[in-house]
């Protein structure tokens, strides 16, 4: 089962230039003579009037051009993502800054891009934990991708910093389990509940290394075409959106069979 993810909105269609390009693709039946020089004001006005008349008599071309451009954009994005999934395997699987759980020597690696404030990430957290309990072959690599503001970044930095105390997994699951608004006080309270030294954690959170890790994850997500959370990767297959435990197991099974 797949549910939609929390996404960062695209503002492409708000751009006048974007619309102009889309419209020009939609005028196959219009032809204009190629002038030797740039058109003057009179010819420009004539062209504008011709285009306006065409739009008025064929309003459907605007919708068709939008659909065609969006289809082309999606296909280009899929192809780029496929290439990146192959070429960026080392960054996905072997970045020492990325927390790991499950079987460190597992034969199958599940990579998850997530945000601690993302409702869908919270919803799938139990499925990810259950998967590790049910399948001892699975190694999970966590990619912090805070897209929901400063509180998300603060939680990500705290979780990354918790690795030094060997409590990342418990802290990670507790952060995702909370239904309260994430604040620094809440983060430190949860940290204390799972056995972290909160004074040390607060100091470690300020390390600029964590911002570098987050920025690196964001760049990797862009290359892979990930614009929201959660996002799951096994091998060279990317599944955006929330998966239940059966969906995760199916993803693992497809990787094992090569289908």
**pLDDT tens, position by position, 66-108:** 787 777 766 667 677 788 899 999 999 999 999 999 999 999 9
Residue 114: per-residue pLDDT: 98
Q: Which of 7, 1, 234 is nearest to 124 (CA)?
A: 1
Whether the predicted pLDDT of 251 surpasses 70: yes
Homologous superfamily in CATH for domain 90-257: Glutaredoxin (3.40.30.10)
Could you tell me the pTM of the whole model? Answer: 0.73
CA gap 178, 204 in Å, rounded: 22
Domain ranges of the chain: 10-87, 90-257
Whether the predicted pLDDT of 221 surpasses 90: yes
Of 29-38, 140-149, 160-169, 204-213, give the lowest mean pLDDT range: 29-38
Residue 206: per-residue pLDDT: 95
Whether the predicted pLDDT of 12 surpasses 90: no
- Which tokens hold the place of 49? 């009037």
Residue 257: per-residue pLDDT: 56
């Amino acid at each position: 089962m797949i549910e939609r993810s929390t996404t960062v909105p695209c503002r492409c269609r708000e751009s006048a230039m974007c619309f102009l390009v889309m419209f020009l693709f939609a005028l196959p039946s219009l032809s204009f003579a190629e002038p030797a020089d740039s058109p003057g004001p009179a010819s420009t006005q004539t062209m504008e009037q011709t285009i306006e008349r065409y739009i008025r008599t064929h309003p459907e071309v605007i919708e068709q051009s939008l659909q065609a451009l969006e289809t082309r954009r999606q296909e280009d994005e899929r192809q780029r993502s496929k290439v990146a999934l192959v070429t960026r395997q080392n960054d996905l699987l072997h970045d020492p800054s990325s927390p790991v759980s499950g079987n460190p020597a597992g034969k199958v690696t599940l990579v998850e891009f997530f945000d601690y404030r993302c409702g869908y990430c919270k919803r799938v957290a139990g499925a990810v934990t259950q998967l590790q309990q049910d399948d001892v072959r699975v190694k999970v690599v966590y990619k912090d991708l805070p897209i929901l503001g400063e509180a998300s970044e603060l939680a990500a930095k705290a979780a990354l910093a918790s690795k030094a105390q060997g409590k990342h997994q418990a802290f990670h699951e507790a952060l995702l389990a909370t239904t309260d608004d994430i604040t620094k006080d809440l983060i430190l309270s949860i940290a204390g509940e799972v056995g972290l030294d909160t004074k040390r954690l607060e100091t470690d959170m300020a390390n600029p290394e964590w911002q570098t890790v987050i920025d690196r994850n964001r760049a990797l997500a862009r290359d892979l075409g990930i614009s929201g959370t959660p996002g799951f990767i096994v091998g060279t297959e990317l599944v955006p959106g929330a998966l239940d435990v059966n969906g995760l197991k199916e993803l693992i099974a497809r990787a094992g069979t090569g289908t």
